[in-house]
Amino acid sequence: MKKKILILSGGISKERLISLDTGLQVAKELKKNKYKVRISEPDINLSKIIKKFKPDIIFNALHGQFGEDGYIQTILENYKIPYTHSGVVASSIAMDKEISKKIFIRNKISTPKFFIYEYNEKNPDLMKKINKFLKFPVVVKPLNEGSSVNVFICNKKNIFKTLNSIKNYKKVMIEEFIGGREIQVAIMGNTKLGAIELRPKRKFYDYKAKYSSKAKTQHIIPVDLTKNKLNEILNIAYKAHRVIGCNGVTRSDFKFYRKKFYLLEINTQPGMTKLSLVPEIAAYKGISFIKLIEWILKDASAKR
């Protein structure tokens, strides 16, 4: 008998629409394969829905804050029901760009140089600090957002205007800009699933490039790398997956510049939409969408 799956999607983050899409795509595929499925928002009705539906597994299709930062995972732990993807600690660490980058550095994983800009402090020497440690252009990004939400490439002319436009974050990361190629790697448990290269028509692989078919981002698979270089990037992604303590499927985002890989971040809950990369990598490796979902469900059950 097929298991009952409760899919959590939507939520209150800036990635709500992507989460809803992921939830719908997963639900559609599970229903096609005779699973009993229910979709729920992670709101005050969640306990009632769980009590009434009695799911065997909870598929966490939430993205962004409160969905993949350890918050909902802490709540789900109380229900004693297996849930997909990483647990509380790994989710929290991976979502926090400052902490995760410090762990990368400690484990000798190359990542762009950075410092934290706090709005409640006086920063009269910001330009001097950037020129000394990073050089322009720089990348400005929130510490706890995904899908490239509010990520900007800045030069001397627009740095202060950009910082002022996102000051509600209280503090942000200012990071070294690395040019070169955009390559993403999927890890599936202990399997180095594969890599895909992205060639955005836009300035970089931002939110629109990720989720709008009109952006016409090229997805290139297999990636044009030597066997040694491909193994190198797969090994780095696997190492990051392990040192953060991740479960299930993760996607690591890299820049490849002057024969060197730079890990930007690791995503513990990659999207499952029509434009998502992990299903595309899996399909190239002969793993259908339903087989990928079923593997994620099985991995969740194995954690209990």
Amino acid at site 49: I
* 147 carries an active-site annotation: yes
Which of these is catalytic: 19, 91, 144, 147?
147
Amino acid at 21: D
The residue annotated as part of the active site, out of 41, 69, 265, 280, is 265
Point out the catalytic residue in the list 10, 23, 67, 271. 271
Q: Which of 86, 267, 276, 280 is catalytic?
A: 267
DSSP SS3 for 199: strand
CA-to-CA separations, 199 to 223, 243, 252, in angstroms, rounded: 11, 29, 16
**199 a catalytic residue:** no
Q: What is the DSSP string of 108-171?
A: T-----EEEEETTS--TTHHHHHHHHT-SSEEEEESS--TTTT-EEE-TTTHHHHHHHTGGGSE
Catalytic site residue 165?
no
Out of 15, 68, 175, 182, which one is annotated catalytic? 15
Distance CA 13, CA 16 (A): 5
Catalytic (active site) residue 9: no
35 in active site: no
- Whether the bond between 222 and the residue before it is cis, its omega within 30 degrees of 0, is yes
Give the active site residue among 251, 252, 276, 280: 251
Residue among 35, 117, 169, 211 flagged as catalytic:
211
Query: Is 189 a catalytic site residue?
Result: no
Q: Which is nearest to 183 in space by CA: 209, 139, 221? A: 221
- Which residues on adjacent β-strands are paired with residue 141? 173
Which of the 8 DSSP states describes residue 67? T
Is 68 a known active-site residue? no
Q: Which of 253, 262, 276, 280 is catalytic?
A: 253
Cβ count near 219 (within 10 Å): 14
Examine the residue annotation and report whether 197 is marked as an active-site residue of this protein: no
| 212 vs 118: CA distance, rounded Å | 32
Q: Which residues are catalytic?
A: 15, 147, 211, 251, 253, 265, 267, 271
